[in-house]
């Protein structure tokens, strides 16, 4: 019957009408920029490895398939490197990122570098496992039950 629509009854609304479990649990670079968390609240850095140096830049083994391509208007680059604060991730390919050190030091090839993602939700979605680290030591690995279910 075209033209006839049943009107849906809307259930009563709770005071909470939006849930963002990834951002709420882990925080990310955007939340830090917005002032809703402190640097010590960033709970999900991505561990990457420097795989090469090229033209004054360095290359990480994490790209769009790990860090995503999210770049909110208030941010520059595809993530932040806390131990290299002048550095900017200028470009991401599927599995690599090109980083301009921005006048700061360049990490050595093979060095593991932490990257704080701009938006943590798709980062979690793209990972099958989260490695749990305490005081620099791996203490557990958690399977991401919702891995690859965003579609």
Residue 57's domain comprises 22-143
Q: Is residue 150 part of a domain?
A: no
Give residue for tokens 């620099």.
136
pLDDT tens for 4-33 read 545 555 556 666 666 666 688 899 999 999
Residue 43, CA atoms < 13 Å, CB-side half-sphere: 12
The dihedral sign for the CA sequence 80, 125, 18, 132 = negative
Looking at residues 125-141, what average pLDDT do you find? 90
pTM of the model: 0.82
> How many domains, in total, are found in the chain?
1
Q: What is the pLDDT of residues 53-109, one digit of tens each?
A: 999 999 999 999 999 999 999 999 999 999 999 999 999 999 999 999 999 899 999
CA 107 to chain centre: 20
Instruction: Give me the phi and psi of 77, to 5 degrees please.
Output: 85, 175
CA 144 vs CA 62, 79, 97, 129: distances in Å = 18, 22, 24, 5
Q: What is the pLDDT of residue 5?
A: 47
């Amino acid at each position: 019957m075209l033209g006839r629509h049943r009107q849906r009854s809307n259930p009563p609304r709770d005071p909470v009408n939006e849930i963002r479990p990834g951002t709420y649990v882990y925080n990310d670079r955007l939340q830090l920029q917005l002032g809703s968390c402190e640097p010590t609240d960033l709970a999900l850095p991505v561990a990457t490895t420097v795989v090469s140096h090229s033209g004054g830049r360095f290359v990480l083994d994490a790209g769009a398939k790990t860090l995503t391509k999210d770049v909110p208007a208030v941010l520059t680059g595809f993530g932040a490197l806390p131990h290299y604060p002048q550095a900017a991730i200028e470009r991401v390919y599927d599995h690599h990122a090109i980083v301009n050190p921005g006048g700061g030091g360049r990490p050595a090839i093979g060095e593991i570098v932490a990257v704080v993602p701009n938006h943590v939700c798709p980062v979690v979605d793209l990972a099958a496992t989260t490695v749990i680290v305490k005081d620099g030591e791996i203490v557990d690995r958690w399977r991401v039950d919702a891995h690859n279910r965003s579609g």
